[in-house]
């Protein structure tokens, strides 16, 4: 599982949310079985993308028109480059994270 984190520039969070909503609508349309994806937003404007995927799921994600539109100007919406971290679940109560 990967965590992708970035902070949006002031005034750009709404635009970012709208683009993310289109990405998720695209997921529903494409029905990508090899992809698990969640996005969280902090009160400070940080966006946290949690991604679990196979190589095939990753290819399908990258090919998604809505995802390509989301990433096309992502750097322009950020205050600094995004960070990517590999995650390992060490505890999970109540099924918050599918394992």
pLDDT tens, position by position, 30-63: 888 888 999 999 988 899 999 999 998 889 899 9
CATH number at residue 56: 3.30.70.100
Q: Please tell me the predicted confidence (pLDDT) of residue 12.
A: 94
Q: Please tell me the predicted confidence (pLDDT) of residue 33.
A: 84
DSSP state of 23: H
In angstroms, the CA 32 to CA 27 distance is: 6
Q: Please tell me the predicted confidence (pLDDT) of residue 97.
A: 74
99 within some domain = no
pLDDT tens, position by position, 72-99: 999 999 999 999 999 998 998 887 776 5
The boundaries of the domain holding residue 38 are: 2-86
Angle, helices 65-72/13-30, rounded to nearest 10 degrees: 160
93 within some domain = no
96 within some domain = no
Assessment of whether the complete model's pTM goes beyond 0.85: yes
The alpha carbon of 66 is separated from its chain's Cα centroid by a whole number of angstroms, namely 12
24 within some domain = yes
Structure tokens at 34: 């090899």
- Looking at the 3D structure of the chain, how many domains does it have? 1
Q: Please tell me the predicted confidence (pLDDT) of residue 6.
A: 97
Q: Please tell me the predicted confidence (pLDDT) of residue 99.
A: 59
20 within some domain = yes
Better-scored residue on pLDDT, 68 or 94: 68
- Taking residue 14's Cβ as centre, other Cβ atoms within 10 Å add up to 9
In angstroms, the CA 22 to CA 9 distance is: 20
């Amino acid at each position: 599982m990967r965590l992708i984190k970035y902070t949006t520039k002031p005034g750009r969070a709404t635009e970012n949310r709208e683009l993310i909503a289109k990405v998720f609508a695209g997921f529903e349309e494409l029905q990508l079985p090899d992809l698990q994806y969640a996005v969280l937003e902090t009160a400070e404007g940080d966006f946290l993308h949690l991604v679990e995927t196979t190589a095939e799921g990753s290819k399908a994600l990258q090919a998604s028109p809505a995802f390509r539109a989301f990433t096309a100007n992502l750097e322009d919406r950020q205050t600094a480059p995004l960070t990517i971290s590999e995650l390992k679940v060490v505890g999970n109560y109540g099924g918050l994270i599918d394992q």
